[in-house]
Amino acid sequence: MPVDPRVSLLDFLRDGLGLSGTKKGCNQGACGACTVLVDGERVLACLALAVQFQGCSISTIEGLAQNGELHPLQRAFVEHDGLQCGYCTPGQICSAIGMAEELRRGVPSHVTEDLSATPIRLDHDELRERMSGNLCRCGAYNGIVDAISEIYADGRL
């Protein structure tokens, strides 16, 4: 953990631990590029202080591949051309993995119609609503949506 309690989780990951996969876009909570998973939940690392998370399990894009195999969602992003420059991609992928966990737990969004459903089905509107915090300046949205849909849509959780 950093000595200075004012250090953000994002700066600690990138500068303190050398994990530069997590990106700094806006540094003010508006773009989603810095999304990481803390105990499985998506968190904007630029808005969080590193000291808040002592003892927590933090996953960044670097930790998603297992035994040399890409995470299925990473592979789908490649296959569907879900990126151009790639700057937003780590945040998109971590956010989508966290989103899938929210769906499994039945956490509703602004557009969820059946509030008692568990898991919640990832349809067109749910995907767009739940991923709306992750911006892509290259506009690779069609590929991003296709990749996430292939892995998580229609009950494929």
Name the E strands within 1-146: 35-38, 41-44, 58-59
Q: Which of residues 100-139 bind ligand FES (CB under 6 A)?
A: 136-138
Name the E strands within 41-83: 41-44, 58-59
Residue closer to ligand FES, measured from CB, 5 or 139 = 139
Residue closer to ligand FES, measured from CB, 49 or 157 = 49
Among 65, 78, 85, 117, binds ligand FES (CB under 6 A): 85
Q: Which of residues 36-75 bind ligand FES (CB under 6 A)?
A: 44, 46
- Calpha distance 100→43 (Å, rounded): 14
Name the E strands within 1-147: 35-38, 41-44, 58-59
Residue closer to ligand FES, measured from CB, 35 or 112 = 35
Q: Which of residues 15-34 bind ligand FES (CB under 6 A)?
A: 24-27, 29-34
Q: How many CB atoms lie within 10 A of CB 140?
A: 21
Footprint of ligand FES on this chain (CB under 6 A)? 24-27, 29-34, 44, 46, 83-89, 136-138, 140
